[in-house]
């Protein structure tokens, strides 16, 4: 008996990294848009997304405040979130026979509002740096 071809199919795995800067409102609009698409087109596992907020500067500001009251603490957290750089990592994960659907989503997402205003970095599975983006995506909440 000869060894056959692998039973695993090639997956089209791509990350779209949108940088919104400090524009939390646009990032939240993008989240709502992705959530509605995911539900409407039943893309639960095929379209996933997570936020990456650069809180290095924001955490320093929050650490300087000594035990604020509950209301003040909420306000300082909001201010920290507002000053953080917001990145939205979108993962498209389609099977080999869905190549056309995958390409349509790669083309559609950046062309819609509020994604147009964000800086885009497209990272395909074969690109250098894909593994580091994938690790980062897995480690985000």
**Structure confidence by residue, pLDDT tens digits, 2-32:** 555 544 556 789 999 999 999 999 999 999 9
**Whether pLDDT at 45 is above 50:** yes
Which domains does the chain carry? 11-54+84-139 (3.30.70)
Q: Residue 73: its pLDDT value, please?
A: 44
Rounded to whole angstroms, the Cα distance separating 19 from 47 reads 18
Q: For residue 67, with 0-12 CB atoms within 10 Å meaning exposed, 13-18 middle and 19 or more buried, which class applies?
A: exposed
**What is the per-residue pLDDT for 11?**
76
**117-127 b/e (C-beta count within 10 Å ≥ 16 → b):** ebeeeebeeee
Segment 121-133, tens digit of pLDDT? 999 999 999 999 9
Q: How far is CA 115 from the centre of its chain?
A: 12
Q: Is the pLDDT of residue 101 over 50?
A: yes
């Amino acid at each position: 008996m000869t060894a056959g071809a692998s039973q695993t199919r090639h997956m089209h795995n791509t990350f779209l990294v949108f940088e919104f800067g400090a524009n939390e409102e646009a990032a939240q609009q993008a989240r709502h848009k992705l959530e509605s698409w995911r539900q409407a087109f039943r893309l639960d596992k095929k379209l996933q997304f997570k936020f990456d907020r650069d809180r290095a500067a924001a955490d320093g500001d929050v650490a300087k405040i000594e035990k604020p009251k509950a209301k003040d603490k909420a306000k300082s957290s909001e201010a920290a979130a507002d000053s953080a750089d917001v990145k939205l990592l979108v993962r498209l994960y389609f099977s080999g026979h869905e190549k056309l659907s995958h390409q349509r989503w790669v083309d559609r997402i950046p062309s819609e509002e509020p994604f147009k205003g964000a800086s885009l970095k497209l990272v395909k599975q074969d690109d250098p740096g894909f593994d580091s983006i994938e690790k980062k995506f897995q480690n985000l909440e």
